[in-house]
Every structure is written in C-alpha cells, then in structure tokens.
Copies of this chain bind each other. A is one copy, B any other.
Amino acid sequence: MMIKVGILGYGTVGKGVVHLIEERCSDIEIKHILVRSKEECLDDHFTVDFDVLLEDIDVLMEMIVGDSPTYETIVRALSKGIHVITSNKVTVAAHLQEYIDLATKNHVQFRFEASVGGGIPWIESCIKAKRVDQIHSIKGILNGTTNYILDRMAKEKIDFDVCLQEAKRLGYAEADPSADIDGFDVQRKIMISSSLAYESIIPFEEYDCISLRKIKLVDLEFFSKKGYTIKYIGFSKTKGNQMYGSVEPVLIRNDSLFASVDKNNNMIELYGDSIGYLQFVGQGAGQLPTANAMIQDLLDIVEHKVNKIEFDKKLNMDKTMCKFTYVFCANQYQFDDEIIKNKIEVDGRRIATSKPITPEERNEYLNCIMQLDKTCVCLRKEED
C-alpha cells in the first residue's frame, strides 16, 4: 500500500528527505510540500496552504525551526489521525507529553529520532534499552557546532572567537549562535533523552546550563598538559525519585572515548543496570544523516513498528543529590574561599579546584564570582 507523506519545511533537511524518499522508497509518495511563498512552488506537489498540506496524507514530516507554526500543525495532524515525524527539538522539548498523549489517543505515532543526535539511532536505542533495564545515567556530546569549535581550538591552538567565525563560514553555526554555544540546544536534547530514559518529563529550563562562550585557549592548553580534554556535555543521572541534569564544559581524560570524538560528531552514552555502558557515535547533524533518521522513523511506521513511550514516573530535579569537583578559571578573581581546595596561576589565568560540592553550591558560588569577574569559566571534572 502506498504511504502518502506531507513535507513541512523544504530547507536543507527537507530536500534531503525528499531526495532519499524519491531515490530509495518505492512505496512512499510525496503528496504535498509546504513552502513559504508561491514563487517557491515548482509543481503541483508544492503548496503554501497548511490545509492543503494535511489533506489526504498518512504521515507529516516536519523539519522547520522553532515552535510556531509547528506546534499548531503537529496538533492538527495528530488530531486528524496523521502520524508525525519531526527533527525539531524545540517543539519536542516543549510539548513531548502532549504530542505523545495526542498520538496515543488518535492511534498514530509521534516520532522524533532526528531531534537528538541527528543520524545516530539514539532515541530508538534508548527506548529499547529501557524495555529491559533501568537507565541510571546519560551523557552526551550532543551539539556538533561546539564540538567542532573545541576540537579546532585544541588541535590548531586557535581561540574561541576565531573558531566560531570559521564554524559560521562552514555553515555549522547559525548567524546567531547562542542556541549552540550558550547550551540551549543541548539543554533540550538532554531533556528529551532523559524524559525517555527515566520515564518522567522535567522541563528543560530546570537543567543547569553553563555557557561555553567564555572558554579560553589558555584554559584548554593548561588542562591538555595535565592529560585532559574539554568537551561540552549534556548529562543526567537518577537516584530514587531524584534526578540531576546539566549542560556544561567538562574535563575528560585524554584517553577516554569522549575525548576522541572529533570534528562536528556527536556521541551519546547510557548506563543501564544489566547492559552496562552503551555508546553511540555518529554525525549529529547535516542534511543526509538527519534525513536518514527521519526516513528510519517513516519506515518503522510503514512496517507497523510501534515503540512504547510512557512518562509515568515522577522525578524531581535535585541540585543537591550528588557532589562533583569543579574547576574555575578567571583573570581577576582570587578564589580565597573555603570551598576551594587548591589554586594555581598560569599565563595570567587563575585556576582553582573546588572540594566536592553540590551543583547548587556551585551555582551560588559561580553567581557570586560572576558579579566580580565576568571572565570566569566553570568546568566539571569527571571522576577518573
């Protein structure tokens, strides 16, 4: 039976999806493609009318940016009994529970493999792991732009701003790169992943989020000599009914897998109680990898493969449930505080290592420092 698809968003990824469907999926028909203006309509598959887009289709594939008119369109589609596949983490993070409930009510699927980790089959693997195991923690390099910047800084000894400009030139970073480098993109991706893994939705705003913007080449070089790489990590863990989640730069041993993830690649790890650590690495963005993930969702719908997604548990974000060692780097601040275990001055940067403290204590301390010295960077040190 021919499956009829509507395409919402005909940019880079949208064109990739259309290309892969036309080239490789013989029993799928692209019925409508929504574009912004009549000038963009190349033939009668194209439309500017949202009503036409949702006419006589089985599946809506959505890949525009932002939450409007995405939200309204997804709700309309699901309510009409149309399956929805999206790559849009903004809308998934904002409305995941509502979308899943609406899909269940209307006996259709809401799928979002491409919203986290691009081409990596992470969402599917996470849901699958949960069938057998309790997942205790998740950790990931979930943003290609910031990994590209950190990798170039380290390998070519170039400062943050130069790498950011280069990332923009190559199309890895947006003109306004805030979502990438201030962590909001990873915040949504770790929230979506954690919701699935722990079966509980905690709003993404509750995840600690430390910007990467102030990281300096001298910081990377100092830690490199000590055997550490800096990676921008989305992280969460659970204990009983509590969970803690964050986005922040993390010091990782040079010989670990995470340290070897280069260029704009992504890596995601889960820890399950019988499976142990599982890691997945691949292209976290890009036209064809993202389109591939959406086609995988589409083929699962065609093959009637249904994943069970539930958010029955009630976890609370607890910023005191665990302790970490944090490292602070700043130009002026003296770090003469009880919380600090030792400090050193290198090339005009003061580097101070904390005693084991809770994220809540870290947040308070960092807020105080930032009032006095805006050059301060805070890194979490991963246990060896």
> When A260-B260, A261-B257 are in contact, do A278 and B281 touch as well, CB less than 8 Å?
yes
| CB-based contact B299/A131 at 8 Å | yes
* Stretch in contact with the other chain, from A87-95, A103-111, A119-127, A192-200: A119-127
On whether the beta carbons of A282 and B281 are closer than 8 Å, the reply is no
For A265, the closest partner residue in chain B by CB is B277
Beta-carbon contact of B275 and A292 below 8 Å: yes
A305, CB-defined interface residue at 8 Å: yes
Q: Nearest-CB distance from A261 to chain B (Å)? A: 7
A364 at the binding interface (Cβ < 8 Å): no
Contact B282 A275 (CB under 8 A): yes
Confirm or deny: A367 has a beta carbon within 8 angstroms of a beta carbon on chain B: no
Q: Contact between B132 and A20 (Cβ–Cβ < 8 Å)?
A: yes
Distance in Å from the Cβ of A63 to the closest Cβ of chain B? 15
Query: Is A8 at the interface (CB under 8 A from chain B)?
Result: no
Considering only CB atoms, which chain B residue lies closest to A272 in the complex? B292
Q: Fill in one digit per residue for A229-261: 1 if any B CB lies within 8 Å of its CB, else 0.
A: 000000000000000000000000001110111
* Contact A275 B289, beta carbon cutoff 8 Å: yes
The answer, yes or no, to whether A295 is at the interface (CB within 8 Å) is yes
A283 CB contact (under 8 Å) in B262, B275, B282, B283: B275
Which residues of B are found within 8 Å of A295, using beta-carbon distances?
132
A308 (CB) vs chain B CBs: closest residue: B303
Contact of B305 with A275 in the complex, beta carbons under 8 Å: no
**Contact, CB under 8 Å: A292 / B257:** no
| Cβ–Cβ contact B296 & A132, under 8 A | yes
Contact across chains for B279 and A281 when beta carbons are under 8 A apart:
yes
Interface of A is mostly: mixed
Q: Which of A1-44 contact B (CB under 8 A)?
A: 16, 20, 24
B128 touches A296 (CB 8 A): yes
How far does the alpha carbon of A274 sit from the alpha carbon of B24 in the complex, in Å? Answer: 11
* Chain B residue nearest in CB terms to A258: B260
| 296-323 of chain A: CB within 8 A of chain B | 296, 299, 303-306
CB interface residues, A 262-292, toward B, < 8 Å: 262, 272, 274-283, 286, 288-289, 291-292
Closest Cβ neighbor of A229 among chain B residues: B255
User: Which among B120, B128, B261, B305 is the interface contact of A278 at CB below 8 angstroms?
Assistant: B120
Are the C-beta atoms of A274 and B260 separated by less than 8 Å? no
Of A20, A124, A128, A132, most buried by chain B (CB within 10 Å of CB) is A132
A345 within 8 A of B: no
Name which residue of chain B comes closest to A283, CB basis.
B276
User: Cα distance A281–B139 when bound, in Å?
Assistant: 14
Distance from A256 Cβ to chain B, minimum over Cβ atoms (Å): 6
With both chains docked as a complex, state the minimum distance between the C-beta of A56 and any C-beta of chain B, in angstroms: 25
| A288-B276 contact in complex given A24-B132, A131-B296, C-beta closer than 8 Å | yes
Residues of B within 8 A of A98 (CB): none
Which of B24, B274, B303 has a CB less than 8 Å from the CB of A291? Answer: B274
In the assembled complex, which residues on chain B have CB atoms less than 8 Å from the CB atom of A261? 257
The complex places the Cα of A132 from the Cα of B255 at a distance, in Å, of 34
Across-interface contacts of A279 in B (CB, < 8 A): 279-282
14 residue pairs from A and B, CB less than 8 Å apart: A24-B132, A121-B128, A131-B296, A257-B260, A257-B281, A275-B292, A276-B288, A277-B281, A277-B283, A279-B280, A279-B281, A303-B306, A304-B304, A305-B305
